């Protein structure tokens, strides 16, 4: 069965790459024109981002009382990013990877899922810090439009919603179970006309909530333990912002600090709220327009967008595929 799952996952990956082949080809041609030194530095920063992501997870694991090997955890983290792209489901697919490998290593699955949920919340909270700076830049330059306002409000509500669920779960698994069952019921009603069946099991929502609540209960006495993983997620966002700076430098495009911050904020914002996997197609369409509004020439804005996505998305996807394959061999 596990071999069939692996085949299915790579089948999905092959289909995703095939559909995006034109963009990949154009991206490679763009990267070939860049100054290799700055692109190499950007690649190192992307590796640093993955390290900071792993460090945040490890801090959350330790908060949950789980001692995990750093090498194995890094593979799971990168593989989860890969699964979230080829089988997008709001991050649930990635959490499933963490839970699956926790069970294979006789670790508490509920606490592992709780750590993954906490990482998602902290990651969004760290991004909101960068987003607030980006909004300030857009306001000062008179470029803040209804699209950015609406997307930012949705982002804030998403983070708030996850935070509320975590708070409920840390105090009562039963209450969290009722909330998740209610959400599952609403999703099933919405999707039933299309699927003619229930997409989510409400009973499983209760069971899953009780498992997660076991880990989240730690927060009642260890709230300060979230500061360290939050710092790691914030460092990760700063590294991704610096990657954009090196991309600008690699193509000799003039920039200011405000342009870099606002550019990253907009790209990551629409990556999160986009209906497509990791914002494929959406970010590539919106980011050049945003950079043009920040006084970057159109042709250079397109080049920067393609190169930045190559380093932060396609490269990570490649790492994730390799990590997933290694995990299946262990």
The residue among 175 and 164 whose pLDDT is bigger is 164
Give the lowest-confidence range in 52-66, 80-94, 247-261.
80-94
pLDDT of residue 34 exceeding 70, the answer is no
Q: Which residue has the higher pLDDT, 112 or 26?
A: 112
pLDDT of residue 15: 43
pLDDT, average across residues 222-247:
92
3-state secondary structure the chain: CHHHHHHHHHHHHHHHHHHCHHHHHHHHHHHCCCCHHHHHHHHHHHHHHHHHHHHHHHHHHHHCCCCCCHHHHHHHHHHHHHHHHHCCCCCHHHHHHHHHHHHHCCCCHHHHHHHHHHHHHHHHHHHHHHHHHHHHHHHHCCCCCHHHHHHHHHHHHHHHHHHHHHHHHHHCHHHHHHHHHHHHHHHHHHHHHHHCCCCCCHHHHHHHHHHHHHHHHHHHCCHHHHHHHHHHHHHHHHHHHHHHHHHHHHCCCCCCHHHHHHHHHHHHHHHHHCCCHHHCCHHHHHHHHHHHHCCCCHHHHHHHHHHHHHHHHHHHHHHHHHHHHHHHHC
* Distant-in-sequence, close-in-space partners of 171: CB < 8 Å, separation ≥ 6: 217, 220
Query: Is residue 226 a part of any domain in this protein?
Result: yes
Predicted local distance difference test score (pLDDT) of residue 197: 64
> Would residue 223 count as lying in a domain?
yes
The confidence band for 111, taking pLDDT boundaries of 50, 70 and 90, is: confident
The number of domains in the chain is: 1
- Residue of 252, 266, 256 whose CA lies nearest to 300: 252
pLDDT at 58: 92
* pLDDT value of position 19: 39
pLDDT tens sequence across 112-158: 888 888 998 999 999 999 999 999 999 988 888 888 899 899 999 98
Per-residue confidence band for 224, with pLDDT thresholds at 50, 70 and 90: confident
Among the residue ranges 14-18, 137-141, 187-191, 240-244, the one predicted with the least confidence is 14-18
Q: Mean of the pLDDT values across residues 67-82?
A: 83
Residue pair 214/110 in contact (Cβ under 8 Å)? The answer is: yes
Contacts 24+ apart (CB under 8 A), 165-168: 165/117, 166/117, 166/118, 166/121, 166/216, 166/219
How high is the pLDDT of residue 126?
Answer: 95
For residue 214, pLDDT beyond 60: yes
What pLDDT digit, counting tens, does each position of 236-280 carry? 999 999 999 999 998 888 889 999 999 999 999 988 887 776 777
pLDDT at 225 over 50: yes
Tens-place pLDDT, residues 289-309: 889 888 888 888 888 888 898
Q: Is residue 19 part of a domain?
A: no
Under a CB-based contact definition with an 8 Å cutoff, are residues 112 and 102 in contact? yes
Domain annotation covers residue 321: yes
Query: Mean pLDDT throughout 210-215?
Result: 76
Other beta carbons less than 10 A from residue 294's beta carbon? 21
When the pLDDT of each residue in the chain is averaged and rounded to a whole number, the result is 79
29 within a domain of the structure (yes/no): no
The whole-model pTM stands at 0.82
> Whose structure tokens read 């990760």?
236
Write down the pLDDT at residue 26: 54
Whether 269 maps to a domain, the answer reads yes
- Residue 311: inside a domain: yes
Q: Is residue 20 part of a domain?
A: no
pLDDT of residue 53: 92
Domain that holds residue 314: 2-13+34-329
Rg (CA), the chain: 20
């Amino acid at each position: 069965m596990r071999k069939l799952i692996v085949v299915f996952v790579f089948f999905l990956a092959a289909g995703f790459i095939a559909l995006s082949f034109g963009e990949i080809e154009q991206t490679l041609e763009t990267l070939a024109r860049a100054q290799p030194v700055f692109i190499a530095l950007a690649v190192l920063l992307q590796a640093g981002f993955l390290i900071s992501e792993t460090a945040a997870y490890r801090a959350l694991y330790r908060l949950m009382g789980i001692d995990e090997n750093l090498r194995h955890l890094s593979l799971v983290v990168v593989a989860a990013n890969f699964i979230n792209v080829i089988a997008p489901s709001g991050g649930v697919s990635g959490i499933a990877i963490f839970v699956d490998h926790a069970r294979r290593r006789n670790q508490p699955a509920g606490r592992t899922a709780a750590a993954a949920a906490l990482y998602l919340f902290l990651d969004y909270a760290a991004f909101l810090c960068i987003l607030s700076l980006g909004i300030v830049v857009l306001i000062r330059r008179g470029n803040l439009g209804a699209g950015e306002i609406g997307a930012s409000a949705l982002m804030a509500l998403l983070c708030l919603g996850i935070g509320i669920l975590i708070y409920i779960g840390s105090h009562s698994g039963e209450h969290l179970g009722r909330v998740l069952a209610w959400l599952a019921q609403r999703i099933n009603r919405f999707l039933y006309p299309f699927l003619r069946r229930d997409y989510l099991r409400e009973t499983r929502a209760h069971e899953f909530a009780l498992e997660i609540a076991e880990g989240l209960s730690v927060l009642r006495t260890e709230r300060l333990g979230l500061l360290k993983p939050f710092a790691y997620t914030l460092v990760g966002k700063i590294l991704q912002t610096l990657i954009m700076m090196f991309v600008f430098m690699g193509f000799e495009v003039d920039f200011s600090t405000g342009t870099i911050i606002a550019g990253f904020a907009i790209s990551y914002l629409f990556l999160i709220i986009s209906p497509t996997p990791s914002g494929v197609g959406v970010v590539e369409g919106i980011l050049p327009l945003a950079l043009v509004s920040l006084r970057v020439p159109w042709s250079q804005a397109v080049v920067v967008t393609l190169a930045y996505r190559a380093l932060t998305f396609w490269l990570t996807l490649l790492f994730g595929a390799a990590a997933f394959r290694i995990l299946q061999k262990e």
